[in-house]
Structures are given as structure tokens and as C-alpha cells.
Structure 1
Amino acid sequence: MSTLPLSADGTSERAPEPRPRFSDLIAAEWIKTRSLRSTYWVLALSALAAIAVNVNAVHNDLIYIDRALSLASGSTPVRYDPLGHGLNRIAADLMGLAAASFGAITVFGEFATGMIRTTFSAVPDRRALIMAKVVLVTAITLVLGVIVSTGSFFTVNAMLASRHLGLSIHDPGCTLAVTAYALIAPVCALMGMAFGAVLRHATASITATVGMLFLVPLLFGGDRYKLLKEIGDYLPLQAAGRLAVNPNVPLGMGKYPATITGSWIALGAWALASVIVAVTVVQRRDV
């Protein structure tokens, strides 16, 4: 027969339940994520679509490459950029949008359904809860980015190998480009989480994320104003695109190109700022 400890007035007291470990919070968030079949479909289809866009871009170039090879002499080799075409911007935008939407829904989804009250009742430590979401979302989207980046790189360069235009991962700039391309997904996902925490509404969160990733950069194009161009170069997708430039192929990056170091700092700063915003907002605002 079990007994409960007695309080000063003689009534029994129940021992407080132990606080959940951080690994338990991650496991709980993983159960929530994998219980939604739409998550698998969105992430899987976006990865396949992004790889298909990259592969199709190079496949469409093959006819022009073959024609150039037939006309080129030994002293004038054909110049082709497998990085610029095999890790192209369209696929990066698609991957970033899918990752940002996934990140946003992990936050606003619970607020929209009211499940967040149950979650906070079970786990009063909001900071630990949102950090568990951050860790899980970052891990999942990093896997997505790595699959798209490495899958695209090795596939397109295998297609170009017979034409002696393919690159190896050990060639200058290739590891940097593949790494930066893979990081697009987790950075965009964390930005989506920040917008989801601030706005707590599906349409508003996705619209704000799309605006930040794709519409705001349009305000900072051109080379007329140096300050505007430099700001635009360090927006998330633009910074990742700068890191994916092939150093062996001269490209017109404008009068004020971003630096590699600055682009790395920009990606890290966007990710860190997004995490701080998400944690702070969920910690301080009422449900």
C-alpha cells in the first residue's frame, strides 16, 4: 500500500511531477510533426521538384553544349558553369518557400487550432518548448537542403562528365556552393517560424514570408545606389546565391558585389535573429 506525504495540516500531498527533459520535448514535437501526412508530402515533393528543376535546366542546355563542342577548336574550350545551372535560383526559391511554410506552420498551426493552450499547460516553460521546435525544424529542413543540394550537384555533373564539363566536389568553390545551397532551407524555415510566432495566422504568416524572401529584394536591385545594393546582397536568398557562385567562371555581379565572409555572416545573422524573435514573442505574448 503506497502512502503520500502529509502536509502541516495533516492532508496528503502529491509529489510534484519532474520537469520534462529537453529530449522529451523534441520527441513530443517530432510526434506532432510526423502525425501530419501533409508534412511528408510537402517536403518530399518540394525536394523532388527542386532537384527536377536543377536537372532539367542542365538537360535543356545539353543540345547547346553539344553544338558548341562540335564547333570549338582545341585552343578555345567550351565554357559552361555547372554550379550556376545545376544549383539554380528557381530551385532555391522553391526549396526556400517550402521550408519557410513548414517552419511557419509548426508555430501558427497550434495557435490557430487552440492546441497551444494544452501544450503550454503540459509544458509551462515556453522558451524550452519553442527551442525544441527550432531544433527539430532546423534538423528536418537541413536534411531537405542536403538532399536537394547534393542530389542536384552529383546528378548534373554526372550528366556533364561525358562532355568533360562536370565538376568534382573537391574542385574550387564546389564544397562552399553545395553547403550554402543546403543552408537555404533551414534559414528560410527559421524565418517562417519567426513570422508564424509574430502573426499567428496562416495566410498572414505565409504572405509575410513570401514578401520578405521574394518581394523585398526587388527594392534593392541595380547598381545605382551602393547602400541599397549592399543591403540587397545580404538578404537571405541573395547571400546564399553569392556563396554558390563558381569562382572559375566570371559572372557579372555588379559594381558592388557581396563578400564571401559577409554572406556567411548574413546567413547566420538571419537565422539567429529569427530564433530570437520566435522565442521572445512566444515567451512574452499571451495565448
Structure 2
Amino acid sequence: MAYAAVLRSEWTKIRTVASTSWTLATALLVTVAIGAGLCAVVNATFDDMPQTARVTFDATQMSFSGMLLGQLAVLVFGAMVVGSEYGTGMIRTSLAAVPRRGALLLGKLTVATALALVVGLATGFLSFFLGQALLGDHGTGLGGENVLRAVTGVGLYLALLAAFAIGASMMLRNSAASISLLITFVLILPIVLSVVDATRKIASYLPSQAGSAIMQTVSASADGQDVPYGPWGGLGIMALWSLAAVAGGYLTLVKRDA
């Protein structure tokens, strides 16, 4: 099967399964709504914040305060892109139609990450403009220093997160197991490690903390944190995690029976 046909097939699978479509829609809506609500609260209480917090305040990143739940939705989306086929046995039909397993995985990655990128960019720009409007005098503009990079970084980060989830799910071949592991590793583990001084630096190299640096316009070192990389360096670390997961998924796909 030609690669273009593989892409059309994967696009059809994703858009005709309501659960996968809704997870991306949820990522956008939840991120925008929570970010807007928190921006409104910060605007109302800004003068009550400590002096240090006001000096290092990142108005752009504040718009993305809902990213925690947005990330969760994208992880579920990536897991379901793979897990739903294994759960229904549809993967056998897919492999029969596309015997070249690398092409099948590449097709899934291309379509799913492209969708995550588009949704992520829409999420970034909507969250930013609504959040800044609600921050009032404490907000910033798209032309501010590093702001455009941070806003577009939302799309890049969510696309890499989707790729990471697809790779991990291809190794596990089960939606429930994949979602549980992804939530623990990507969302919970960094928080746990960050509360202990001895493990805080380890947490900074995990996918979510490293990748989210691209969405900051104020260096974390400004509020006393030791940051071992910049925004693009953090995204690069995230890309390496995603590449490793995809490589693991590929090896699993080619070496095991469906």
C-alpha cells in the first residue's frame, strides 16, 4: 500500500472513532477554560502576591495554567490511537493491509502528531489571547520578548507528547495499561521527585518538565530555581524521550506477533 493510502487510512480511523476525537477537543477546551479562570483570579489578587512573585511573574505561562489536564487528554489520545486497535483486534487487519510495519507506525505517528500539533497551536493562541485579556494591565502582547516562541511551543510540546504516548502504547499494546503508566510517568512522577531536593534535578530531565520549558518567557532561574537548560534545550530533551519511545514501539511492532 502506498504511503499516501496509509495516511488516509490512519486519518479515517482517528476521525471515525469518537473517543479519540473527543480527547483532542477536551485538551483544547479544558486548557483554555482553566487558564482563563486562573488568569482572572490572578488579575484580581495580583497586588496581594509577594514581591518576588510579582517581579518574576510570567504572564504568558499563566495563560497555559490548564496544561496539566490538557496534557492528560493528549496522553489518552496517543494511547487510544494504538490501544484501540489492539483492543478490538483491528491491528491484524491493519497489518494485513500494510505488511511493512514501519510504514504503519510512521503513518500513525504522522497523522496523530499532526493533529496534536494543530490542536496544540489552536490551544496556545486561544489560551494566550483570552488569558491576557483577563490579566488586564498585568498581561503582555504577542510581540513581547519570547512570547511567540512560547505560544507556538504549546503545539510543539503537545505533538511530541502525542508521539511519546504512541511509542509507549505500541510497546504495551493495551490502552488501560498505557494510560496508567503514562499518567504516572509524565504527570505524577515529576511532581513527586520535585518535592525532594535530592531528586529535583532528576525531575527536571523528565519529559513534561523539560518540554514545558518551551512555554516559559521568564527563566525559572529568576525565582531561584537551578535550570540546567534553556527553552529549546528542554524541548530537545523532550524530543529525545519521544524518539526513544517511538524506537521502542517500532522494535516491539516488528519483533512480536499481532
TM-score after normalising by structure 1: 0.80
Q: Any stretches of 5+ residues in structure 2 without a counterpart?
A: 49-53
Q: Does 1:141 align with 2:116?
A: yes
> 1-side partners of 2:209 and 2:219: how far apart?
20
Q: Are 1:257 and 2:257 counterparts?
A: no
Unaligned stretches of 5+ in structure 1?
1-19, 69-77
Q: Against the structure 1 CA distance between its residues 250 and 40, is the aligned structure 2 distance closer, same or farther, given a 3 Å change threshold?
A: same
Write out aligned runs for 1:166-177 (5 A): 166-177=139-150
Q: CA deviation at 1:249?
A: 8.9
User: Who wins on radius of gyration, i.e. which is larger?
Assistant: 1
Letter in 2 for 1:258: P
Superimposed CA distance per residue, residues 97-131 of structure 1 (whole angstroms, 9 cap, x where no aligned partner) = 11111111111211111111111111111110110
Closer, same or farther in 2 for the Cα pair 1:222/1:49, shift >3 Å? closer
Greater fraction helix: 2
Match of 2:51 in 1: none
Asked if residue 203 in structure 1 is aligned to residue 184 in structure 2, the reply is no
Question: Is residue 187–residue 236 contact of structure 1 (8 Å, CA) maintained in 2?
Answer: no
Structural mapping, 1:227-242, within 5 Å: 228-242=199-213
Distance 2:255 2:42 in 1: 53
Contact 2:170 2:253 in 1 (8 A): yes
State the Cα deviation string for residues 127-152 of structure 1 (Å, max 9, x = none). Answer: 10110000001001111111111111
Residues 138 and 189 in structure 1, CA contact (< 8 A), matched pair in contact too: yes
Counterpart for residue 58 of structure 2: 81
Give secondary structure in 1 for the equivalent of 2:118.
helix
Q: Secondary structure at the residue paired with 1:247?
A: coil
Q: Is the 8 A contact 1:131 1:279 kept in 2?
A: no
The partner residue of 1:120 within 78, 87, 95 is 95
Q: Which residue of 2 aligns with 1:98?
A: 73
**Residue 110 (structure 1) aligns with:** 85
Structure 2 residue 18 is the aligned partner of structure 1 residue 48: no
Q: 1:49 to 1:224 in 2, by over 3 A?
A: closer
Percent of residue pairs bearing the same amino acid type: 27
Matched, 1:245 2:216: yes
CA contact (8 A) 2:26 2:70 kept: no
Query: Against the structure 1 CA distance between its residues 248 and 101, is the aligned structure 2 distance closer, same or farther, given a 3 Å change threshold?
Result: closer
The offset of 1:179, in angstroms, is: 2.7
**1:234–1:262 Cα contact (<8 Å) kept:** no
What's the RMSD between the two structures over aligned residues? Answer: 2.2
Counterpart contact for 2:117–2:155, Cα < 8 Å: yes
Count of matched residue positions in the alignment of Structure 1 and Structure 2: 251
Structure 1 stretches of 4+ moved >6 Å:
none
* 1:209 Cα offset (Å): 0.7
Alignment of 1:57 onto 2:38: yes
CA contact (8 A) 2:7 2:111 kept: yes
TM-score computed with the length of structure 2 as normaliser:
0.88
For 1:205, the aligned partner's letter is S
Distance in 1 between the 2:253 and 2:219 partners? 46
1:22 is the counterpart of 2:11: no
The question of whether the paired residues in 1 share the 8 Å contact of 2:211 and 2:238 is answered with yes
Structure 2 residue 254 is matched with structure 1 residue 277: no
Find the aligned partners of 2:235 and 2:23 in 1 and give their Cα distance: 28
